[in-house]
Amino acid sequence: MVEKTKELNPLGYKPVGKLLKSLAIPAIIANLVNALYNVVDQIFIGQGIGYLGNAATNIAFPITTMCLAIGLTLGIGGASNFSLELGKGFPEKSKHTAGTAASTLIIIGIILCIVVRIFLEPLMIGFGATDKILEYSMEYTGITSFGIPFLLFSIGVNPLVRADGNAKYSMIAIVIGAILNTILDPLFMFVYNWGIAGAAWATVISQIVSALLLLIYFPRFKSVKFSLNDFIPQLHYLKRIISLGFASFIYQFSNMIVLVTTNNLLKIYGKNSIYGSDIPIAVFGIVMKINVIFIAIVLGLVQGAQPIFGFNYGAKNYHRVRETMRLLLKVTFSVATILFIIFQVFPKQIISLFGEGDKLYFEFATKYMRIFLAFISLNSIQISTATFFPAIGKAIKGATVSLTKQLIVLFPLLLTLPRFFGVEGVIYATPLTDLIAFTVAIIFLINEFKHMPKQTTASNLDKK
């Protein structure tokens, strides 16, 4: 069975380095472009409105994070099971998995859109909006809520398209949407003078285009052929998808909890500092967007490796699983180290892209950025490890690694440190968490490979 599967799918025999490159580069570009939806908005809003506009998009960002939580749960979970079943030689189960994931994304997207629109004002206040920020955040989120179903669909279907071996198409779908967003942002904001509403409509239109491009790919799947019945959600497959994608949900949902908590802590403790509440909230949003760029690159590398992990683990090619993980850790750590140097050397120049501010604004922004991103090299290994486990069907371990970072360590530190150090305590909570979470991830990873069978049924065709 394994030899037959290898002949059918290059994931089982092509050199790991070439596979990772071909799968990861399009994923990185797609993720970066997806991240730029928010970054470009932030830049244009900051240049056109000022840091209160930046603060408004930061208040709205937990909703995007919730979309990431749900979309990546169904997308990565679906893609993991899709690859695992293909590796085992069960294409029927693969297509039922993909169909269930896609239809569920649409249903949840519509429900989430309605909920956000009904509870818009209390959500914005709960997310940490001050009196000055509330009006901007409600205007922006009220419009972008229309794009939630399309954003959710794009996030979730992307990993499925990559699992089918067409990483290039998934990249193109997102890139086209981002290019459109970049064109429409200045047009709507500065030519038509729509202000922050213009940035919001540009985002929604771009999300619709990306979602439609991904939708029309389903008849073109190479590894399976769909019928309409495949898109009827099946509880059995949905449970499996959620279990495999739960680590992604834990990471993103806990990230949303951390975002909301941090905004409110900055609002409370910032008010008692020389910076006030609005500057810290705005700066936090900007630094988080910069961090999202780092995460987009690392996740792109991990998502490129995910089909290789899943297929070869399912086919019992354990030597290829080990080889892929070694290569992945080397590349992610190297990329993160380069970004670390850039962020530490040029913080003010990077912050300036998001608009002007006074001396206090740049003083706080420079300090926050340097401290917040101090351990991103170690963070890259933690992210790689958390995503590796669900890719090989071990969702509980992946969820544990993710949960350790966001809720078990970071959340208590956020609630504790500001009591002693004020607004400074909020800043230092993240690098301390990165250090502890890295240690936990390494322990889990070493233990996993220690117990993974060393024998493999694979031949040496994949040697470089």
Give the tens place of pLDDT for each residue, 353-383.
998 888 899 999 999 999 999 999 999 999 9
Helix ranges, 272-314 (H): 278-314
φ/ψ of residue 317, rounded to 5: -90, 70
- Report d(CA 12, CA 17) in Å as an integer: 13
Check whether 26 has a pLDDT greater than 70. Answer: yes
Residue 458 lies in a domain: no
What pLDDT score does 456 carry?
55
- Specify whether the backbone of 165 is left (phi greater than 0), alpha (psi in -120 to 50) or beta: left
Between residues 282 and 40, which one has the greater pLDDT? 282
> Using alpha carbons only, what angle is made at residue 177 by residues 225 and 98, rounded to the nearest 5 degrees?
25
**Does residue 85 sit within a domain?**
yes
The percentage of the chain sitting over the pLDDT mark of 70, rounded to a whole number, equals 95
Domain that holds residue 424: 2-451
Give the position of tokens 């394994």.
2
At residue 1, does pLDDT exceed 60? no
Between 310 and 276, residue with greater pLDDT: 276
Calpha distance 410→427 (Å, rounded): 11
Q: Give the CA diameter of the chain.
A: 68
Asked whether residue 144 is domain-assigned, the answer is yes
Q: Is residue 325 part of a domain?
A: yes
Looking at every residue in the chain, the average pLDDT score rounds to 88
DSSP 304-367: HHHHHHHHHHHTT-HHHHHHHHHHHHHHHHHHHHHHHHHHHHSHHHHHHTT----HHHHHHHHH
Task: Establish if 462 belongs to a structural domain.
Answer: no
Report DSSP state, residue 222.
S
pLDDT in tens, 85-141: 887 888 888 888 999 999 999 999 999 999 999 999 999 999 999 999 999 999 999
Instruction: Output the pTM of the full model.
Output: 0.79
8 Å CB contact between 267 and 281: yes
Q: Is residue 133 part of a domain?
A: yes
Report if residue 463 sits inside a domain.
no
Q: Each residue of 195-213: pLDDT tens digit?
A: 999 999 999 999 999 999 9
The confidence band for 464, taking pLDDT boundaries of 50, 70 and 90, is very low
Candidate from 208-217, 247-256, 426-435 with smallest mean pLDDT: 247-256
Q: Residue 105: helix, strand or coil by DSSP?
A: helix
Which residues are within 8 A (CB) of 10 and not within 5 positions of it... i.e. 6 or more apart?
A: 19, 165
Instruction: Check residue 2 and give its pLDDT.
Output: 44
How many structural domains are present in the chain?
1
Identify whether 161 is part of a domain: yes
Q: Which residues touch 420 (CB under 8 Å, ≥6 apart)? A: none
